[in-house]
Amino acid sequence: MRIDETIFRKYDIRGKYPKEINEEAAYKIALSFSNLFPDIKQVAIGGDIRKSTPKLKDAMIKGLIDGGKKVIDVGIVISPVVFFSVCHYNFDCGIVITASHLGEGFNGIKIVFKNAYPTLPEHYDKIKNLIINNKLSKTKNQKTTIKKIDAEKDYIKYITSKISIKKPLKLIIDTGNGTSRLLPEKIFKILGCEASTIYSDPDDSFPNHIPDPYHKENMMDLKKEVLKKGADLGIGYDGDGDRAGFIDNKGNLINGDALLMAFTKNAFKKKLGPIVVDSRASLALIEEVEKNKQRIELTVGYHAAVLDKIIELNAVFGGEVTCHFYFPLEYYLIDDALFASLKLVQIASEKEDFSDYMNSLPRYCASEEIFIEFPDTKKYLAVDNFTKMVKEKNLDINDVDGARINFKNGWGIVRPSNTSAFIKVKFEGKTDKDLLDITRKIVGLMDESGIIMPESKRKKIGL
């Protein structure tokens, strides 16, 4: 059976089960990975709550053993627990069977190296090509070595030791029928908070909403509960627990820009130093960092790009507007939503009114990120052509990830999605008028280059 090549994305493996990703594919991926990286000896593996996960995980384990690896089975856990295991126990590699925030019917594979360093596009290309060219080989005289460990216990002990909460808070948690289940509630109760969870029962049909807190429609039930119960904070987790979204005590959704600002200011209280964020970050954050006479570096919107710059610059904080965060002053360099939510609760516990504090942070007028459907096979070329055209017009751009076009009073960005068939755009202005002017200019440039925003989305942003 020929493997479906479409499952190999730029930064992970994802597809529909069993048509696109299945046990045969999982086995071949594990064996290919083992062949490509012979120096890797110990591999930690875990998975999410999807019904297909145990079958895919067993197939991966067989492929790893046939490839000569020692397998450490971490169980059904959030992705950060697997990443933590790699760092904490000094394993060579970690693998998670998960489709993250995707809906019913999907599954996938995430792989990290030592110190939980993410895999890169070239790694997945090599894995795919070895399979396609039928060059897989089993290790001779392999021994079946599978060890099961309870990493969650050490994980809880470690992350709670890093956090001090000034006053107990009342928290509402939404784990979206995903893998986090009651784990966040358990951890917050250990720290003295009053916590309760909605949608904690694991169910891979995701009957209440897709487990993706980046989209506000998936946070509305949490918002209602926060207001109904008079909670200090609401926290919603994605399907595998590596991203979280937040609702403040007045029912406001806290966007990624505000979180980056809050975490940056918190880091600066401990130590001044460089900040690393993706290229969609707010001008307000850039000005805040520069006001403190520190360097801010913009990167491609992917964890490895942010992580590389954090390491290179010895940064004190890094993250993405899509709610991926790194806290190098306090924690392993792991993308861990639960630790990020602990940090925000810590910040909230120090404020008289958390909503008032968040509203006091510097901010400008920004659009939501807008998704324009565009074929995977054409999106990169379309953005490349757009970037080239903008450069020829001598506009001020940052092209680290698509084209971020800078104006006197704001900016806008046009970039390809790294994980799905979309081109993504976002605009920001210092005032509402600036925002509208910049939006009109950039959408006009998009029209000129052949990236057409649908009429429904134009109306939504006031065009």
**At CA 53, angle to CA 6 and CA 320, rounded to 5?**
65
Per DSSP bridges, beta strands 42-47 and 170-174 are: unpaired
Q: Is the pLDDT of residue 144 over 80?
A: no
Q: Is the pLDDT of residue 251 over 70?
A: yes
Contact 80, 71 (CB under 8 A): no
User: What is the C-alpha separation between 429 and 439, in angstroms, rounded?
Assistant: 9
CATH of the domain at 385: 3.30.310.50
Q: In this structure, are 357 and 369 located in the same domain?
A: no
Domain count, the chain: 3
The one-character DSSP state at 367 is: P
Residues 368-422: pLDDT tens digits? 999 999 998 899 999 999 999 999 999 999 999 999 999 999 999 999 987 778 9
The residue among 153, 185, 216 that closes a domain is 153
Q: In this structure, are 356 and 394 located in the same domain?
A: no
The residue among 315, 344, 363 that closes a domain is 363
| Residue showing tokens 């807008």 | 370
Averaged pLDDT for residues 174-191: 98
- 158 lies in some domain: no
Q: In this structure, are 240 and 334 located in the same domain?
A: yes
Token readout for 103 is: 């809906």
84-115 b/e (C-beta count within 10 Å ≥ 16 → b): bbbbbeebbbbbbbbbbbbeebbbbbbbbbee
Q: What is the pTM of this model?
A: 0.94
Instruction: Please tell me the number of Cα atoms within 13 Å of 219 on its side-chain side.
Output: 24
Confidence class for position 1, pLDDT limits 50, 70, 90: low
CATH of the domain at 119: 3.40.120.10
Confidence class for position 106, pLDDT limits 50, 70, 90: very high
User: What is the C-alpha separation between 437 and 421, in angstroms, rounded?
Assistant: 28
Q: Which domain holds residue 24?
A: 5-153
Residues 189-230: pLDDT tens digits? 999 999 999 999 999 999 999 999 988 999 999 999 999 999
- 237 lies in some domain: yes
Q: Is the pLDDT of residue 141 over 80?
A: no
Q: Is the pLDDT of residue 301 over 90?
A: no
Averaged pLDDT for residues 441-448: 97
Confidence class for position 318, pLDDT limits 50, 70, 90: very high
Contact 284, 358 (CB under 8 A): no
Q: In this structure, are 131 and 189 located in the same domain?
A: no
Whole-number pLDDT of residue 214:
83
Averaged pLDDT for residues 34-39: 96
User: What is the C-alpha separation between 431 and 357, in angstroms, rounded?
Assistant: 21
φ, ψ for residue 315 (rounded to 5)?
Answer: -70, 155
Q: Is the pLDDT of residue 145 over 90?
A: no
Residue type, 323: C
Token readout for 247 is: 């609702």
Whole-number pLDDT of residue 247:
98
Residues 93-105: pLDDT tens digits? 999 999 999 999 9
Instruction: Please tell me the number of Cα atoms within 13 Å of 206 on its side-chain side.
Output: 24
Percent pLDDT > 70 in the chain is 100
Mutual angle of helices 337-349 and 256-270, in 10-degree steps? 70
State the burial class of residue 244 (Cβ atoms within 10 Å of its Cβ: 0-12, 13-18, 19+): buried
Percent pLDDT > 90 in the chain is 91
| 136 against 11, higher pLDDT | 136
Q: Which segments of 67-200 does DSSP mark as H helices, in order?
A: 79-88, 121-132, 151-161, 183-190
Q: Is the pLDDT of residue 48 over 70?
A: yes
Question: Alpha carbon of 379 to those of 278, 280, 342, 372, 384: distances in Å?
Answer: 19, 18, 37, 10, 9
Residues 423-439: pLDDT tens digits? 999 999 999 999 999 99
Q: In this structure, are 384 and 288 located in the same domain?
A: no
Whole-number pLDDT of residue 91:
98
The residue among 363, 389, 424 that closes a domain is 363
Whole-number pLDDT of residue 418:
77
Q: In this structure, are 21 and 34 located in the same domain?
A: yes
